[in-house]
Each structure stands twice: as structure tokens, then as C-alpha cells.
Structure 1
Amino acid sequence: MIASLVPVRSLLFAILILMLGAGFLTTLVSIRLQASGTGPLIIGLIATSYFAGLAAGAVRVGRLVARIGHIRTFTVVVALLSATTLAYTLNAQPLLWMVLRFIDGCCVAGVYVCLESWLNDRAEGPSRGSVLAGYMIALYLGQGLGQQLLNVVGAVSATPFVLASLLISLSVLPVALTRMSGPALQTSAALPIRRLYVISPLAIIGVALTGVVLGAFYGLGPVYAGDLGLSVSRTAGFMTVVILGGVALQWPLGRLSDRFDRRTVIILTTAAAAISAFALALTGPDGIGLVLAGVFGGTAFALYPLCVAHANDQLAPAERISATGGLVLVYSLGAAIGPLLVSAAMALTGPQGLFHVLAVLAASVFGFGLWRRMVGDKVPADMQQAYQPLPRTTPFAAELTAEPAATPSDAGR
């Protein structure tokens, strides 16, 4: 595996460094807004603007890449992200921060489009799965460990924003100094959502509600912990446990879904997510709550790739990449709705409302999955595709799970 990562090491270092800086910004913004007395509804709206930016950026950045290339686009979006990170220190007006978070989302989407399409171009044959695994490790490790920087610099001064901006700026260096040439960007149109629902209703509903759940958690998890009296350090630890738990369980749950009816694994995973979320609402995010947080993260994070794999089981090979584009869009829309929806519940019922609503959402997927299992046909074992862990970023990551199409010169070999 290591040998296959050497040719793309600069891209992996770039995402690791950038996520160390940008990965804790969502937590930091929520903590700072909460400390200033901002209510959960406004915090939820600001979190929603970030995920709206992610969705908008994923759709629009490809045109910029096609015009000026990968390296210039990466440099532009990282420079803008670094600048907006420093802009938070100028004024704490929620409206300004809402605009800044939207720009942040667009920039992070630009990073994903650049790096994932580039990785897809550079990965060769059997190394493609290893490249995807290395990318996911760098992405989530940076995001998870980045939370711990709040233990070093705190969250009450301009220092964490300055540190985040420094790390984000430094992520340009591995890309700017690489000798790799950027590839030509090739995109495929996403399958219409209506057609995806006809093909796999459980995949669409599962991906949409997973977006709502994780968008709400990222935006409001720090508010939940802070309202229950956790310090900044313990809040950062709580967020880290959920994120790294999400990485740890994706592979074993995926292997189970390859051996058994994937719908059953999705149903059991949503049941575990619902139970752990409800238990967290009762116990709080400390002590046994940290174990529950790891279970919740592991099961909630695994739902997206499980649902994508379930959709792929029922698609022709030529449709799978475009289907992933549609599923990423559905996830992004759910993530944009999630913080706004759940913040209303928290405003009415208190911090425990976060996990009460997340439990209900996971239970809804559980119930829908049971119904689909009763009325839908089981995919034959020999037609079930191999599971692949996937980040919830852009369709380019999904392309790393497939062999590139043969060229005319390859066809005769």
C-alpha cells in the first residue's frame, strides 16, 4: 500500500495539513458563537450556510478548474479559505459569519474537487483502492486530530483562527511544489434523483437522512457539549471520538455487508445509531457517553458508503459514477437542512434535543429499511458489488473504486 501512495504523497500531505487547520473550524465557530450568547437557531443557520457552500462549490468549482487548472484553482481556494479564517477575528456579527461560512464551504468543496480528481487521474490499476484508503486516512485523521488543537490554543482569543489560517496556508506548499501536472477535468452528469429513488429507495432515503444527521452533529455537537457544561478541551475530545469512531467502523461494517444482505446491515447499523443517539441524550457526552459517542460516530458515518454500495448493487457499471454524483448532492442537501432543523428542536427542548432528533431520524431510516426489506427483492449474492469505504465529498472519490475505462489501444491487448 505504501508504495502506491508515494507518487501522490504531496496531495495526501496537502489534505492532511489543510484538515488539521480547517477541520476544527466548525467546532470553533460553534463554541465562539455559543460563548457570545448566540442562540441555537442562529448557530444552526450559520452551520447550514457552510453546507450550502459545500453543495454550491461542488457544482461550480469544476468550471474554474477547467479554465485555470488544478494547481491554480487549489491555490485560489486555499488562499481565500485562509483569508476568511482570519476574517472571523474582525467582527463577531452572525450575519458576517454566515457569509464567511458559505465561502468556507465553497472553498473546501474546491479543495475536494481538485485533489480527488487529481488522485483519480494518478492512481493506476490495482493501486486505486490503496490511494482511496490513504486519502480517507489523511482526510479524517486531519479532521479528528485538528479538534485537539483547541486544547493547545483554547477557543477564546484570535489565536485559534490564526493557527488555522497558518495551517491552511501551508497546505498550498505540497501542491505548489509538486512536479505532477494537473489532469484534464472530466465530469459526468449526475443521475436524476427521481430515477435514483426508483432504482433504490433505501439508498436515497438513507443518504438524505444521513446528511441531516451528520450536518446537524457537526454544526451543533459542540453546542450540545457546551450547554451540558463541558470545557473546550472535553468538547474537542468528544468531537474527536465521534469522528475517529466513524473511521474505525466503516471497514468492518462494509465487510459484513459484503457477506450478508446489505439491507439487513443497513437496518442494523441504523438501529445501533438510533439506540446510541438516544442513550447519549440520556447520559450526556462524558464517561460512558464517550463510548456511546464512538458507537454513534461509527454507525452514522458508515451509513453513507453502505447506502452507496446498496445503490451500486442495482445499477449498471456505466451508471455508478453518475449515480454517486446524485447521491453526493442528496447528502449535501440533507446536511444543509440538518443544522437548521435540529437547532429548532434544541431551542425548544434544550441541548438533549440534538440527540433526541438524531435518534428519531436514524429510527426513521430503520423503519423504512424494514419496509423495503419486506416489499423489495433481495439482490442475489453473485450480483452484490464489493463494498468500498467512501468520504462524503465529491463523485471523484467514487471513481477511485473503479478501474479506468480502457483506451482504444488497450482494447486490442
Structure 2
Amino acid sequence: MPGIYGSIAAILLSIALLYGGNTMMATLLPVRAGQEGFDAIFVGGMGTGYFIGFIIGCRLTPWLVQRVGHIRAFGALAAITASTTLGFALFMEPAPWIVLRFIYGVAGSGLLMIVEGWLNEKAGQGNRGRVLAIYTLVYIGAQALSQQIFLFIAAKEVTLFLVAAIIICLSLVPIAVTTSPSPTPLRTASLNLRRLYATSPVSTLGSLGVGLANGAFWSLAPLFAQGIGLSTQTVGMLITSVIIGNAVLQWPIGWLSDRVDRRFPIVTCFFGASALGLTMSFAEGVYLILAIAAVYGAFAQSIYAMLVAHAGDKAEPEDFVSVSGGLLLLYGVGALIGAMPGAALMDAFGHQALFWWTASVHSGIAVFILWRMLKRPGRAEPMPEGFQAVPKSTPVAVELDPRAEASPPPDTEHQAREGGVTTP
């Protein structure tokens, strides 16, 4: 195992830098937009633009890698992402920022797909569970650490844009100097709603609902924090609290979900997220808000991995990659839609209305799951690997999941002709 860890260390460093820069920008842009006086609807438009770009990037990157190779594709996308990051500092207007956020989403998803494909190749058969656990810790840690920079540098300064660009550029170094052979061509995933719903109605609508709520939260929570009078430093702590809450609860509730009907902890988290969201919308005081945010993150951010596990319990082993990849794309569709209703409500009723939107989505999905539990009682037998904490990243990360090992290997001849396999 030490050999495995050594071989993936450079890739994990690139991943940490990418997630750190991306999460930092996700907080910085709404904060700076609020300081510049942008309406919430424009901030929501940035979130929508990012998620549209992210989905398009997941479709285009396999084609780009097929044409120029992994390292060249990564270098080109890193240059685009860093340049886009600096572009935000040059054009302090809402419309250019929406366009730049879209470009950032296209290039950013491509960067993650490439490094995740490399990580998957290095993990090999039999080690994916350990590698996925390490990857998830790196993913969460990088997100949390990136928020601490707001304690030291004011968002009003251009410095933060420069720091984010530097971080993204540095992510290129471990990939550029690696002597490892390039991995096999990337696969992408398609969204087959009929097949997903037939496999698991709860996971299908649940993933859409999590996307609707999370897309609004990650796009607008910094604006909410500013609107209720929190300082820039406290905005970073609010996001950190949500991330830590997720990290603390995800594994224990996943363990529980392997031993009961998974729909019980899933519906509990949906109702809990709804209640905590409403509570946070009316809370006052920095410490109280941070505490509520941590519990909110524990419930709201832990749901997606359980939904993937529930769908995996009901799918055939060879279909796991296509089902979980489709759920991730459906989450992305929900995220690109969810930011705009949240922004419109904030413009109409005030910043606290963000959590009125997330609470309505969470409670609506919870009611649907209760109806499904009454209609189809009983527990689906869990897969042998059980629950796995999975990041909401790109379809390539799905193949790191040890539950995917029963899936058929890529058709390399078809990849060579088509520039990547489309998972049905």
C-alpha cells in the first residue's frame, strides 16, 4: 500500500489545489458581487452559468483528451481557468461575470475529469475503497482550508483573485512533471431519466432535489451572510461550518444506512435540512448562525452519497457506473436550475429567503420519499461494499467507487473512433 499512496500523492496534490481554488472562488465571487452592489438575480445567474459550463465541460473533455492527450489538455484548461479567474478582476460588471463563470465551469470540470481519470488508473482493482476515502478527505479538507484565507485577506482587495489564479496554476505542476503513463481515454455519462427512475425513484428525484437546494446554497450563501450583516471573515467560517458538519455526519449516517432501510436516514436528513434551513433564516448572532450552519451541513450535504448507495442497492452491479454517473448529471441539472429561484426570492423578500427556497425543496422531496415508503415498504439489500462517501465531482470520479468494479471495462476501440464512450 505505501507504493499506492506514493504513486497517487502528486495527483492528490493537484486535486487539492483545484478544489481549494474552486471553492475559494465560489465564496469570493458572491461576496465581491455583494460589495459591488450586484442584484441577487445576477449572482444566481453566475451560479447557473457555472453549472451549465460544468455539465458541458464533462461532455467536451473526453473529446479534447482524445485529440491532444491528458497533459496537453490539462495545461490548456489550467491556462483558461487561471485567465478566467484574473478576468473577474478586470471586468467588474454582472454580465461579464456570468460569461466568465460559465467558462470557468467548462474548464474547471475538464481539469477535475483529467486528474480523476489519472487517479482511477493509479488506484487499480482492489484499492479503490481506500483511494476513494483518501480522495474524499482531500476534497473536504481542501474546501475547508480554502475558506481560511478570508481571515487574512479582505475580499475587497484584488489580491484574492491573484491568489486563486496562482493556486490553479500550481495545480498544473504535479501533472506536468509526472513520469507516469497517461491513463486510458476518459468516459462520459449520459442522462437517461427513464432508466434512472425505473431503478430508483427516490434516488432520481432526491438527486434532483439535492441539486436544486445545493446549487442555490453554494451560489448564494455568501450573499446571504453579507445580507444579514456578517463580516467577510465570518462568511468563510460559515462555509467552513457547513463543510465540517458534512464531514462529521457523513460516515456515521452512512454506516447506519447500511443497517436499516436507507430511505429512513435519507428522509430524516431531508426533513432535518428543511428545519435547519428555516431556523437559520431567522437566527441572529454569529456563533448561533455558525452552529446552525454546521448542523445544516451535516444534514443537507450528507444526503447525496446515501442516494447513490440506495440506487446502487437496486441496480445490477454492471449498471452501477451508468446509474451513479446519471445521478451526478441529474444533480448538476438541479444545481443549474436551483440558483435562479433562490436569487429571485432573495431579491423579492430579502436575503433570508434563500433558505425558504432550500427548505421548500428539501421538505417537498421528503414528502415524496415518505409516499414511496408507504407505497413500497421494505428494505433493499445493500451492496456488499455498503455505503461509500462520494464527492459530488465529475462522472469520472464514479469509477473510483469500489462498487463500480463489477462494471464492464471501457470499449477502447469505440473510444478511439468516437473520442470516448457514452455510458448508456
CA-to-aligned-CA distance 1:273-300 (integer Å, 9 cap, x gap): 1111111112147222212111111211
The residue type paired with residue 320 of structure 2 is: R
Q: Name the counterpart of 2:153.
A: 153
Write the distance in 2 (CA, Å) between the matches of 1:191 and 1:219.
24
Write the distance in 2 (CA, Å) between the matches of 1:245 and 1:293.
8
Q: Name the counterpart of 1:340.
A: 340
Deviation at 1:191, TM superposition (A): 5.7
Write the distance in 2 (CA, Å) between the matches of 1:22 and 1:164.
8
Change in CA separation of 1:191 and 1:40 when aligned onto 2, cut-off 3 Å? closer
Change in CA separation of 1:180 and 1:278 when aligned onto 2, cut-off 3 Å? same
Q: Name the counterpart of 2:379.
A: 379
Secondary structure in 1 matching 2:11: helix
- For residues 111-190 of structure 1, the aligned pairs below 5 Å read 111-187=111-187, 189-190=189-190
Name which of structure 1's ranges 312-321 and 70-79 shifts more when overlaid on structure 2.
Answer: 70-79
Change in CA separation of 1:385 and 1:135 when aligned onto 2, cut-off 3 Å? closer
Deviation at 1:236, TM superposition (A): 0.8
State the percentage of identical aligned residues: 35
The residue type paired with residue 342 of structure 1 is: G
CA-to-aligned-CA distance 1:74-104 (integer Å, 9 cap, x gap): 1111111111111111121111111110011
Q: Name the counterpart of 1:38.
A: 38
Secondary structure in 1 matching 2:245: helix
Write the distance in 2 (CA, Å) between the matches of 1:258 and 1:197.
22
Deviation at 1:109, TM superposition (A): 0.5
The answer on whether the counterparts of 2:42 and 2:98 sit within 8 Å (CA) in structure 1 is no
CA-to-aligned-CA distance 1:328-362 (integer Å, 9 cap, x gap): 11100111011111011111111110111111111
Unpaired segments ≥5 residues, structure 2? 410-424
The answer on whether the counterparts of 1:188 and 1:322 sit within 8 Å (CA) in structure 2 is no
CA-to-aligned-CA distance 1:90-121 (integer Å, 9 cap, x gap): 12111111111001111111122111111111
Q: Name the counterpart of 1:193.
A: 193
Q: Name the counterpart of 1:225.
A: 225
The answer on whether the counterparts of 1:241 and 1:294 sit within 8 Å (CA) in structure 2 is yes
- For residues 163-312 of structure 1, the aligned pairs below 5 Å read 163-187=163-187, 189-190=189-190, 192-284=192-284, 286-312=286-312
Q: Name the counterpart of 2:420.
A: none
Q: Name the counterpart of 1:393.
A: 393
Unpaired segments ≥5 residues, structure 1? 408-413
Secondary structure in 2 matching 1:184: coil
Name which of structure 1's ranges 169-178 and 117-126 shifts more when overlaid on structure 2.
Answer: 117-126
The answer on whether the counterparts of 1:190 and 1:324 sit within 8 Å (CA) in structure 2 is no
Change in CA separation of 1:271 and 1:74 when aligned onto 2, cut-off 3 Å? same
Change in CA separation of 1:250 and 1:2 when aligned onto 2, cut-off 3 Å? farther
Write the distance in 2 (CA, Å) between the matches of 1:329 and 1:6.
32
Secondary structure in 2 matching 1:153: coil
CA-to-aligned-CA distance 1:315-334 (integer Å, 9 cap, x gap): 10111101112111110011
Name which of structure 1's ranges 147-156 and 180-189 shifts more when overlaid on structure 2.
Answer: 180-189
Name which of structure 1's ranges 305-314 and 375-384 shifts more when overlaid on structure 2.
Answer: 375-384
Taking structure 2 as the reference length, the TM-score comes to 0.92
Write the distance in 2 (CA, Å) between the matches of 1:195 and 1:9.
37
Write the distance in 2 (CA, Å) between the matches of 1:355 and 1:191.
28
The answer on whether the counterparts of 1:5 and 1:130 sit within 8 Å (CA) in structure 2 is no
CA-to-aligned-CA distance 1:180-222 (integer Å, 9 cap, x gap): 1111124265361122112211101110010111111111000
Write the distance in 2 (CA, Å) between the matches of 1:379 and 1:67.
46
Taking structure 1 as the reference length, the TM-score comes to 0.94
The answer on whether the counterparts of 2:12 and 2:138 sit within 8 Å (CA) in structure 1 is yes
Write the distance in 2 (CA, Å) between the matches of 1:155 and 1:287.
21
The answer on whether the counterparts of 2:202 and 2:369 sit within 8 Å (CA) in structure 1 is yes
Change in CA separation of 1:189 and 1:346 when aligned onto 2, cut-off 3 Å? closer
Change in CA separation of 1:187 and 1:22 when aligned onto 2, cut-off 3 Å? closer
Change in CA separation of 1:282 and 1:3 when aligned onto 2, cut-off 3 Å? farther
Change in CA separation of 1:264 and 1:384 when aligned onto 2, cut-off 3 Å? farther
